[in-house]
Every structure is written in C-alpha cells, then in structure tokens.
Structure 1
Amino acid sequence: MKTQYLIIGAGPTGLGAANRFKELGMDDYLILERNDYAGGLATSFKDDNGFTWDIGGHVVFSHYEYFDDLMNSLLGDERLEHERESWVRTSGTWVPYPFQNNIRYLPPEARWDCVQGLLPGNRPEQPPTNFGEWITHIFGEGIARHFMNPYNFKVWATPPELMQFNWIGERVSVVDLKMVLKNIIMERDDIAWGPNNTFKFPLKGGTGEIFHRLGDRLKDRIEFGQSVVSIDPDAKVVTTDKGTKIEYETLLNTGPLDTLASQWLTDRDTAMGDAAKDLVHNSVLVAGVGLDIKDESDRNSRCWMYYPEADSPFYRVTNFHNYSPNNVARPGEQLAFMCESSFSDHKPEKVDELMDRTIAGLVNTTMLDASRVDDICTKWELAVDYGYPVPTLGRDNALRAIQPRLEAKDIYSRGRFGGWKYEVSNMDHSVMQGVEWAERMVKGTPESTYSWE
C-alpha cells in the first residue's frame, strides 16, 4: 500500500488535515486509526442505560472562521448555544468563576485572606521562574492557598513548581486589586471573562457527533483498527499491529509525540529519546453518574464546577444534562454528572476505587444529597492514559530537540499530544493544526496555530 500523505490518527487534527486535503483537491492521502471509530479524545459513548458521555468537558467555541464554517456544515441547526455558568466549590460555599474576580462570595475570614495577599508589598516582586511562583506573584498567598495551588495540582497532577507559566495566555484570568475591591463593595459579579463564556454543543450524540460526521465524509480514506507499531523513516514505511505496511512520502502524526520519538522509530535517535523523557502528561478518569430523578436546585442548572479541595477526588464536574437534554435517556427527567479526576506518579490514585470516591465527593460537595444515592441509575467510567500534556519546565527544550529532527525526516507531529502544547489544544486549535499543516503541504503557506520554536 502506498500514499503520498499518511496520517496517523482520526482525531480532530487528523480529520482536519484530511478534510482540507479533500477541499484542496488532493486525493493521495490515507488515515490510520487504531480504534474502530473516529474522534480520538473527542469521541462520545452511549452507556448501557442510554446516557451519552464525552471524554471530559468539551465545548465548541472558536478562534477561526474556517472552524466555524466547518461546524456549520457538519451540524447546521442541530446544536444548542449556552451561556457559561461555572462555579468553584471551596470553603463550604460556591464562588462564581473566575474565582479571583468573585471572592466576595467567600466567608469573611477567607475573603480577607485573599484580599490581604493582594495588598501592596504582600506579593513577591522578583520575576517568577515557574508556575508556582507565578501564582503567588500574580494572585498573592490567599488566592493561591484557597484556589490556585490546590486546584492546579488536582487538575495537572503535577506540582506547579515543575511547570512553566508561558502557556497561560487566555487560559487564566489574572487579577486586579481595584476591581476585586470594587466587586466586593458593590456586591457585583464578574463572570463573563474568557473565550468560552458562550459555547455551542451538538443536539444529539455528544461532542463525538461532530467527528462521527466528519469521519463519515472521509471514511473511504480511513483504515480503522490499525495501530502503529513501527516507523522506518529511511524507507518511509509504517507497520501496524496487523502487519499492514504502508509506504508514504510525508507523514503526519497525531498520536503521542513521546511514543513516536522513543518507541515507534526504527532508527532510534538518542537525542530525541532523551528529550521525550521531558514530555510529561497526566492521566484522567472520567466518571459518569446518572440519576433517575430530576433535581431543580440551581447547582444542577450550572454548566460546570471546579473543586480545589480534598473532600472530592475530581477537579471538575460537568452537568452534562444541561449541555443537551439528549445526553440522558429520558430528557428532562434525569441528571448526568460527568466527573474528572487526574492521576500521575506525583498524584497516584487507586483507579478502581475512584467511582466510589466520586459518588462520595458528589455528596460531600452538595451536588448530590446522601438520601438520593439510591437514585443513581447508571455509572460509566473511562480511564484515559493521556489526559493533558503538561507544560513542564523542560517541555519547550524537548520540542526543540524533537520536532526539527522529525521534520528533517518528512515527519510532522501535530495535535493535542502530537504537538504537546496545551495552550493550542482546544478543539478548534486541534482541527486547525491539521488544516494548516495540509495547506502548508499543498500550498506552501506557513502554519500559524502551532509552532515548536
């Protein structure tokens, strides 16, 4: 089997590249996908009780006209639009997101603790050298203690001191003391920050419906059930676990970059292998808990909630019944809590106990009344080995050591784990990494979303 362009992975990046090839009239390409479905980490699953679950809290918002047009062509009117309502559970109460802009909701002592940390002279003045120092430098000790430090360790499963802070950009709302004090005194909420303050979601099928439909457009160019085991960059041959060999001219990898650099290549490059050790990721258990009785409390009408404290294992819970009524088996009559817990060597978890701890955490954080545990009608879980690419202190040097060596061999690596840059791994970013790579191959135009330099 031969092809000019071989794409590893039918997730958002791989499908984005293939779709753009098709639009540009390039028909000599092939996608290898290890699963029997398209979508990658943007896949959705329906459990045995009729509930639909995503692999984590995906929402559709965009920085790109191309992505917007693609979503329109795939979904049309079959989608819903929501205004984000997010909250933080801490100090025995609920604080609107962003936490740092709404600390008036905290109990008085915690509120003062946060304000005191922001006062002149109380924040470190020396430039930060890591994410942990950046948190204190920007937010002060109080906000760091009540939210930023415990939450970030919970989500990344990596100490903030081992992470860089250059990735932040629009990911984290910084803080303004004058605004904080004004919000407290004027009893004013500040909740509109961020690019996802409004978002869209498919009417049926979860996030995976988007990529199911896109995969259908390209199904004659996708080889499902083909897991890569080796890449010979000199002969330009990829071998799969089924013994299939595909000759290629140019390769796009959207699988984990560390696996590509340290395991798949037949001519092991010591420099790449050593650099791959500095590519760190966490793992995530997604636990879906469905209830048979509708609860009209305001906390169940929210979009998602963040949990920095130790009374629950999860860092985020999504009210998935609010994204679309069709995410539950009986729309309007059931609840669907989608809970995410991270784990790593820095934060080990007994994964087989996380579902029970998740249910206990829902009770502890008032999401679920203890008397209603018997109303749980479905429990679904999926452990994801590669959850988030962690922006560690060594990441950028690792990418600079790996990516140019690969490109010299006509191998390009893009996407959430192919490119290993969290700051450009939203759904729109991931699709556009593939689109822009395809345009670079066919038209010679430079990529703008992804750069390893």
Structure 2
Amino acid sequence: MHVKYLILGAGPTGLGAANRLAELGENDFLVLERNAYIGGLSASFTDPAGYTWDVGGHVVFSHYPAFDRLLDELLGNDVLRHQRESWIRAAGTFVPYPFQNNIRRLPPDLVWECVEGLLAAGRDAAANVHPNPPAHFREWIDRVFGPGIARLFMVPYNFKVWAHPAERMSHRWIGERVSVVDAARVIKNIIYGTDDVAWGPNNTFSFPLTGGTGEIYRRLAARFADRVRLGDPGRRIDPVAKTVVTGSGQVIGYDHLLSTGPLDILVTEQLAGAADALHEAAKGLTHSGSHIHGLGFAGAPPDPRCWMYFPENDCPFYRVTNFHNYSPLNTPDPDGMIPRSRALMTETSFSAHKPADPAALAEATVAGLVATTLIAPDDVARRTTTWEMRVDYAYPVPCLTRDAALAVLQPALERLGIQSRGRFGGWKYEVGNMDHSFMQGVQWAERLVLDQPETVYSL
C-alpha cells in the first residue's frame, strides 16, 4: 500500500492535518491511530454509570478563526458557552484565579507577606539588581512575584502540576500561560475589595452539549472515516525507503509523513537507523504523567465554579473540574438540563521526581475532596461511580535542556522528510493547547500543498 500523505495519530493535530488536506482536494492520505478511539488527549469516555469524562480538564477556546469556524461547522447548536469561574484553594480559603491578583482574600498576615514580597521584587527590578536573565523558572518566580506568592502558590502549585522542580525548568515558555503580576493593580484590589478575574485567553470558553470534548474529534474524523485506521500504530519508520510498518505488520509507503506522537518515542523506538546523536538529544526531553479520576456523587448542590487549583499537600490532585457544570449531559441524570449528580474530575501528576501510588490514589483523592471542602464527609457514601485513567504523557515539560534537544531533533527529522508536530510531537507546551495543536496540523498540510510557511510551530 502507498499513500501520498501518511499521518501518525488521530488527535487534534493529525485530524487537523487530514481535514485540511481534504479541504484542499488532497484525498490520498491515511491516518494511523494506535488507540481504539479518536481524539488522543482530547478524547472522552462514558463510564458504565453513564457519566462522560474527558482526559483532563479541557476547555474549548481559540486563538484562530479557522478553529472557530470548524467548531461552528461540527457542533452547530450542540454547544454551551461559559464564563470562566476558577479558584485556588490556599490557607483554608478559596482565592479567585489568578491568585496573584486576588490575594486580598487571604488572611491579613499572608496578604502582607505577599505584598511585601511584591514591593521588594519591584524595587529590585527598578534598581536592576538582577541584570542577567533568570537561570531557571524558580528564579523567575522569585524575581517576579517575591517570596510570599512564591511560597504560598507559585512554587508548590507548579511542582504539583509539572511534577518537576522549578529549578529544572526554563522560564522561556511563559507568555500568556502565567499572569505576570502588577503590584499597583494588586494593591488597588486590596484597598477597594474587588476581585480581578478576567485575565487570560480562556476567561470565556465553549463546551460540547453532549459527548465531552471528544465529540468534536469524533465528528471531525467521520468526514473521512474510510481513511482513519484505529488500533494500528506506526511501529517502524524507514525514512530512506519511505515506508512505515504498522502494528498489524502491513508495510505502507508514503511521500510525506507527519508524526504527532511523542517525539522521544519517535526517535528512540520508531525511527530506523536513528543516529546516536538523536538518541542522545532525546534524553533532553522530559515529561510528566497524570492520573485522571472521575468521581460521581448523588446530589448536586449549587456550585458555579468551573475548576479549582490546589497547591497544598492536603490533597494529591492539582486541579479539580466541576464537570457537571460544563454540560449537564455529562451526568446520567440531568433533570430539565439541571444535573442531579456531581461529576468531579481530578488530575494528579506523577514523574520520577513525584511518584504517585495508583493503588491508593482513588481513596486518597476522595479524602482530598473532603479535606478541601469540595464534598462533605457524608457525601463519601453517596459516590455513584469511579472512573480512572492513567496518562503517561500528559505535559511536555519545558525543562532547561528542551530547546537544545529540539534544535538537534527537529532539523534532523526535516532532513529525513519527517515532520513531528502537536503537543508531544513538537514538545512545546506554549503552543500545546487544543487549538494550537489543531492548527499545527492545518499548517503542515498548507505547507506541503500550498507552500505556505508554518507560524504556530517554530524553533
């Protein structure tokens, strides 16, 4: 078998590429997906109790008109739109997101600790105390936020989410991913007693009415279902012969190859004849995993919050999503579009730096929900379902060695006629959102067919 365009992975990047090829009249393509389902990290599942769960707390927002148009085409009226309401649990209370703008909610002594640190950081910046760039993410945190906000939120939360010490991470991925603090704005919020919650590109977001986030990609893949093969990964790539051996043993020839799976696996396990230098460079890529728990509880008291962050050690998870608020049809018993059950989805990271015991994690998660007041002790007996999923590749960590590794790996793959794109294919968290990943696939297709440059992903 031979195809003009071979795509490895049926997540947002691979399906974005396939869809754009079809739009451009290029129908000689095939998508190989190792899993038995569509969507990659944007997949959704319905458990035996009738709850729908995502692979983590996805929200649908976009930087790109092309992605917006696609959502309109695919979902039509089957979509709900939400105003973000997110919070941080710290010092026995909930603080609106972003934490650094809303420290007025903390006890007075902690408010002053944060303000004192902010003022000191501002004086240091004005006096050019640190003329050289930060050596790592932890140093950036200390310089920008001061010791108070660093201690209470930024350092512990980032360790819980990345499962890597901030000293091992670069600060160069920041941009719109982290709200950089404005001391005057913070002090004004304290004096006037106002919350400051509008920051960020996802302050409003959309969500499918039914089927979870994965519904988007199931509907997209249905456009070219005859050219999507599930449960059959690309096992071995011969870039000289331009062939891929699949998990089923079939040999497929290609003219152009897009890989959307993890870049380190592509180089060390799939690519035939990869030079030692590529194997060595791949060691510079690090990642974290995540344990996702979906916990259903009978009874849904009013709670308008969308999701919450947890920097402290009274719970194993770093984020909890009120998934029943995203769509009442995520629960098995919506009554007039008002869910009568709660669907709480938690995320707990893991790595060699931060192990997590899967056997004990479900019950530790329930205990954490009680400790953080998300459920009452009596609610434990009202649990109606427990859904679990382990994701070995959850976050591509922007570690100190990442950029040097990519500077070796990506040009080498280009010379072999292979492009690696997407959240883990490109290994750039700063362009790893769903819309970023989708557009990386779109721009790959436009580069090959229309000779247009890629702008979303670059080295």
The answer, yes or no, to whether TM exceeds 0.5 is: yes
The within-5 A match list for 1:271-286 is 271-286=277-292
1:428 maps to 2:435: yes
1:320 maps to 2:326: no
The within-5 A match list for 1:115-130 is 115-120=115-120, 125-126=129-130, 127-130=133-136
Q: Please tell me whether the aligned partners of residues 117 and 123 of structure 1 are also in contact (alpha carbons under 8 angstroms).
A: no
User: In the TM superposition, what is the alpha-carbon distance from 1:38 to its structure 2 partner?
Assistant: 1.2
The within-5 A match list for 1:234-245 is 234-245=240-251
User: In the TM superposition, what is the alpha-carbon distance from 1:177 to its structure 2 partner?
Assistant: 1.1
* Separation (CA, whole Å) in 1 of partners of 2:261 and 2:119: 46
**What SS does the aligned partner of 2:457 have?**
coil
Closer/same/farther in 2, CA of residues 123 and 111 from structure 1, 3 Å limit: farther
Query: Please, which runs of 5 or more residues in structure 2 have no aligned partner?
Result: none
**Equivalent of 1:147, from 141, 149, 153?**
153
What is aligned with 1:194?
A: 200
* Separation (CA, whole Å) in 1 of partners of 2:181 and 2:65: 30
**Equivalent of 1:379, from 375, 386, 400?**
386
Query: Please, which runs of 5 or more residues in structure 1 have no aligned partner?
Result: none
What is aligned with 1:356?
A: 363
* Separation (CA, whole Å) in 1 of partners of 2:189 and 2:109: 17
Q: Please tell me whether the aligned partners of residues 123 and 138 of structure 1 are also in contact (alpha carbons under 8 angstroms).
A: no
The within-5 A match list for 1:6-25 is 6-25=6-25
* Separation (CA, whole Å) in 2 of partners of 1:123 and 1:36: 54
User: In the TM superposition, what is the alpha-carbon distance from 1:36 to its structure 2 partner?
Assistant: 2.0
Most deviating of 88-97 and 241-250: 241-250
Most deviating of 142-151 and 113-122: 113-122
What is aligned with 2:140?
A: 134
User: Equivalent pairs: percent with the same residue?
Assistant: 58
* Separation (CA, whole Å) in 1 of partners of 2:54 and 2:37: 14
Most deviating of 366-375 and 121-130: 121-130
* Separation (CA, whole Å) in 2 of partners of 1:183 and 1:225: 53
**What SS does the aligned partner of 2:360 have?**
helix
What is aligned with 1:309?
A: 312
**What SS does the aligned partner of 2:236 have?**
strand
What is aligned with 1:224?
A: 230
TM-score, L = length of structure 2: 0.97
What is aligned with 2:255?
A: 249
User: In the TM superposition, what is the alpha-carbon distance from 1:385 to its structure 2 partner?
Assistant: 0.4
Q: Please tell me whether the aligned partners of residues 123 and 136 of structure 1 are also in contact (alpha carbons under 8 angstroms).
A: no
Superposition RMSD in Å: 0.9
The within-5 A match list for 1:16-415 is 16-120=16-120, 125-126=129-130, 127-296=133-302, 300-331=303-334, 332-415=339-422
Q: Please tell me whether the aligned partners of residues 153 and 160 of structure 1 are also in contact (alpha carbons under 8 angstroms).
A: yes
Most deviating of 111-120 and 365-374: 111-120
Amino acid at match of 1:18: A
Amino acid at match of 1:60: V
User: In the TM superposition, what is the alpha-carbon distance from 1:360 to its structure 2 partner?
Assistant: 0.4
**What SS does the aligned partner of 1:385 have?**
strand
User: In the TM superposition, what is the alpha-carbon distance from 1:273 to its structure 2 partner?
Assistant: 0.6
TM-score, L = length of structure 1: 0.98
* Separation (CA, whole Å) in 1 of partners of 2:153 and 2:120: 21
Q: Please tell me whether the aligned partners of residues 120 and 146 of structure 2 are also in contact (alpha carbons under 8 angstroms).
A: no
* Separation (CA, whole Å) in 2 of partners of 1:225 and 1:101: 46
